[in-house]
Amino acid sequence: MGIFALLRARLPALGMEREFDFSRHTTIGCGGRAAAAVFPASKEELLTLFRVLKQEKIPYFLLGAGANVLPAEERFDGAVVRFSRMQSLRREKSSVVAAAGVTGGALLRFAEKELLSGFEPFTGIPTTVGGGTAMNAGVPARHFADLVEEVEAVAEGEPVLLKAKDCAFGEKESIFTGKTAIVSVRMRGTEGDPETIRRTLAEYRGKRKELPHGRSMGCVFVNPPECPAGKLIECCGLKGARFGGASVSNVHANFILNEGGTASDVAALADFVKEEVRRKTGILLREEIRRFRAEHT
Ligand SMILES: Cc1cc2nc3c(=O)[nH]c(=O)nc-3n(C[C@H](O)[C@H](O)[C@H](O)COP(=O)(O)OP(=O)(O)OC[C@H]3O[C@@H](n4cnc5c(N)ncnc54)[C@H](O)[C@@H]3O)c2cc1C
């Protein structure tokens, strides 16, 4: 029996889709297909799903909004776990408890409505709450780690409650590297006034206009201590470098844009940029993007 049919038979109540196409569900717009995508709507459904994945030895991949993922070219004989049906949002004192699938936009709108500030710097970052927490997404002024108080997750098939310090947040990294699934996150807000929140949102919205347009994963590399990665790449003469349909942006050299290229084009260009920067400057860039890697329970 194929993976989709098996999952459908074992989990008849769960939302599910066959032949999931990574190119349609990632911002970089490339990649192969997966046998199935599953859409749990609650922690209980997620726990049941992980039990079945383990029993049936089916590999899986956790996918949020797909804004920082470089998919694989090859077909994935496994399940993509999606969080788009996990959408609850509630206020607890001056904190917000958001389910993993809540988008950055929905989080910002909710905080604004509740007159809670602190979230404004996340304006325009394509993200889900789960993906943003896993990536410790943000801008220099604020990262998810600055607001996260507690994370409800499923690790090794068991529910766990993690404090921020247990999440080992770092520069675009955390303990959530693909195996442990985030269910919801409690984030600290600050009581604010509507006018200041609105003005701050508009300021951050304005800053986003300078970023390159087109299909990308945002910044590909973490800034090393020596110099912003984009500057380094530019100084190495790599703006405009191209592999098939993938090219280094002429606006911001830390962005790789994809115009009809394949996941292999994008991966080869990222490898090339990293190697050229190392050869010319001696600095080894660390990737911020997450390349597809299947996990097993
Ligand atoms: C145009 C553009 C601009 C961007 N600007 C910024 C920026 O300013 N700052 C910034 O930090 N980033 C930026 N990014 C990158 C991206 O938006 C962030 O990394 C974002 O947080 C990714 O969230 P996501 O939901 O898309 O996660 P995905 O890309 O889907 O996944 C990222 C990682 O998180 C894991 N993951 C996803 N959901 C869960 C979950 N529920 N539980 C556990 N793990 C999970 C995935 O397995 C993967 O390893 C930008 C990207 C683009 C395309």
pLDDT (tens, 9 = 90+) of the chain, 297 residues, equals 899 999 999 999 999 999 999 999 999 999 999 999 999 999 999 999 999 999 999 999 999 999 999 999 999 999 999 999 999 999 999 999 999 999 999 999 999 999 999 999 999 999 999 999 999 999 999 999 999 999 999 999 999 999 999 999 999 999 999 999 999 999 999 999 999 999 999 999 999 998 999 999 999 999 999 999 999 999 999 999 999 999 999 999 999 999 999 999 999 999 999 999 999 999 999 999 999 999 998
Residue 241: DSSP 8-state? -
3-state helix, strand, coil in the chain (%, to 5): 30, 30, 40
Q: Which CATH class is domain 229-284?
A: alpha beta
292 lines ligand 1 (CB under 6 A): no
pLDDT of residue 297: 82
- Judge if the beta carbon of residue 182 lies within 6 A of ligand 1: yes
Distance (angstroms) between ligand 1 centre and the Cα of 115 equals 26
CATH domain 3-82 topology: 3.30.43
What's the pLDDT at 129? 98
The two three-digit tokens of residue 263, written as one number: 């996941």
Pocket test for ligand 1, best of 103, 127, 171 (most atoms within 8 A of CB): 127
DSSP-assigned letters across all residues of 94-127? TEEEEETT-BHHHHHHHHHHTTEES-GGGTT---
Instruction: Give CA–CA dist 121/248, Å, rounded.
Output: 26
Residue 131 alpha carbon to ligand 1 centre in Å: 5
C-alpha distances out from residue 51 to 37, 46, 59, 155, 226, Å: 16, 9, 12, 11, 45
Atom 11 (ligand 1) nearest CA: 137
| Ligand 1 site, residue 184, Cβ cutoff 6 A | no
d(CA 140, CA 9): 47
Measure 10 CA to ligand 1 centroid, in angstroms: 30
The CATH class, in words, for 89-208 is: alpha beta
Residue 155 in contact with ligand 1 by CB distance below 6 A: no
Q: Residue 265 — left, alpha, or beta (φ > 0 → left; ψ -120 to 50 → alpha)?
A: alpha
Minimum CA distance residue for ligand 1 atom 12: 137
Measured by CA distance, the residue closest to atom 41 of ligand 1 is 130
In angstroms, the CA 162 to CA 175 distance is 11
Quote the pLDDT of residue 156.
92
Atom of ligand 1 nearest to the CA of 28: 53
Q: What is each CA distance from 172 to 29, 127, 144, 157, 211, in whole angstroms?
A: 22, 13, 10, 25, 19
Domain chopping of the chain, boundaries? 3-82, 89-208, 229-284
Radius of gyration of the chain (CA): 19
pLDDT of 3? 97
Q: Is the CB of 135 under 6 A from ligand 1?
A: yes
- Tens digit of pLDDT for each residue in 136-161? 999 999 999 999 999 999 999 999 99
Query: For residue 64, how far is its CA from the centre of ligand 1 (angstroms)?
Result: 7
Euclidean distance between CA atoms 24 and 229, whole angstroms: 28
